[in-house]
Amino acid sequence: MTKDMTAGSPAKLIIGFAIPMFLGMLFQQFYSMVDTVIVGQYLGVNPLAGVGSTSSLNFLVIGFCTGVCNGFAIPVAQMFGAREESRLRRFVTNGAWLCVVFSVVLTLAVVAACRPILTLMDTPPEIFEYAYIYIVIIFWGIPCTFLYNILAGIIRSLGDSKTPVVFLALASLLNIVLDIVSIRLLGMNVEGPALATVISQGVSGVICLFYMWKKYPILRGTREEWKPDLSYMKRLCLIGIPMGLQYSVTAIGTLVVQAAVNGLGAAVVAGVTAAQKINSFISCPVEALGQTMAPYTGQNMGAGKLDRIGKGLRSASLIGFGASLICFLIALVGGRQLTLLFVDAAEVQIIEYSYEFLLFCTGGYCLLTLVNTVRFTIQGMGFSIFAIVSGIMEMIARILASVALVPFLGYAAICMAHPMAWLFADAFLIPAFFWCRKRIEKKRRM
């Protein structure tokens, strides 16, 4: 069930690993996309705008959870590449203990802060309660988010990107059924899709846990290996927390963008909401290539094969450039039609807002490709602190677009915010990669 990525063609290994990752991300997007489609079609524009206005706040918190879990999986990949199975299991078990603590503390903190944050974001009064009800339920489900993501991260670190996809597929089907039942049969409002998302992710996590315990004997630790160990926890936190903070710092910039969007009215909020959902969906190939680089790099770092890291990064980036062109063409030709999944055809202005946003975003996917491939490569090499700096660069760019450019360019500045953020991040990450490689080579020579 495991896959050694320290030998063989880097391009073939990356493609073989990324395809299941891509499918998994598609299924993961179904969670939020189906929510949005059903809310928009059955509940109307205001509930749709309410759900959509929480996307940046959702990313701030859930992104931190995902980043932490991905970070916890990197030492596992390094130990797998180094063939140190006992240390691998200790990283797994200590990561599990940390996830329990993180999930409890984070859930209580963000649930209490939901309403004040939505107020600070200048959420329009007509959509405020929809936004609050939806996001507070999502945040009560943070333990489910940790459960699935830490297990999926560990499995991927062992070279298996296929198994998590199966469980996500099952969870996505369950999510769709629960969405329809909650709204059409039970007459629920936005709380229905929120509960469906939490329940579905929890189910996928539990199934993943039972399957992993049965099928991965390499993970079955002894009683001694299950004991908490501060040295392992420190190593995990040094990698995991910066990766989580990178998502959160990036999300601060998107929160500022969302506040600027909110100030332009409910129609703009609805248009951006639809575009962001479509953007999240069609960007999956580029995102999958990036996340592939963390376990690939981690395994090769553990095996001491630094030359393969550069080759893998180059291959992943070139593949990503090709995928970026395809994504742009999809948006150019079908952007308006895709928006009709979320809003009625009579909402002409909302459709145009969505289409313009999509063209700007997909036009910058080459920049996004490098953000993902280079950043995850650096993280796989063990330099997670650079993730925070790149996140700060993205945050600065989004704040500049929202605060400095909106008064002059209006909605166009909103559309430019994401490509600007990716450009700023690349300006830091590309030189940082070469610095990290030289640093590692220097240590190896000493």
pLDDT computed for residue 356 by the predictor: 93
pLDDT computed for residue 2 by the predictor: 64
pLDDT computed for residue 267 by the predictor: 84
pLDDT computed for residue 446 by the predictor: 65
The predicted-structure confidence for 145-177, as pLDDT tens digits, reads as follows 999 889 988 888 887 778 877 887 888 888 888
Structure tokens at 404: 């400095």
pLDDT computed for residue 103 by the predictor: 94
In the chain, which stretches have pLDDT less than 50? none
Q: At what angle are helices 163-180 and 191-215 packed, to 10 degrees?
A: 150
pLDDT computed for residue 301 by the predictor: 87
The predicted-structure confidence for 247-256, as pLDDT tens digits, reads as follows 778 777 877 8
Query: pTM for the full model?
Result: 0.76
429 CB-contact burial (10 Å; exposed 0-12 / middle 13-18 / buried 19+) = buried
Query: How far apart (Å, rounded) are the C-alpha atoms in residues 401 and 238?
Result: 32
Q: Where are the domains of the chain?
A: 14-445
Q: Which of 79, 22, 32 is nearest to 302 (CA)?
A: 79
pLDDT computed for residue 305 by the predictor: 86
pLDDT computed for residue 172 by the predictor: 80
pLDDT computed for residue 430 by the predictor: 94
Q: Which of 249, 180, 244, 195 is nearest to 428 (CA)?
A: 249
pLDDT computed for residue 77 by the predictor: 82
pLDDT computed for residue 31 by the predictor: 62
Angstrom distances, CA of residue 422 to CA of 59, 270, 368, 377: 17, 24, 6, 16
In degrees and rounded to multiples of 5, residue 425 shows phi and psi of -65, -45
Place of tokens 């903070």: 245
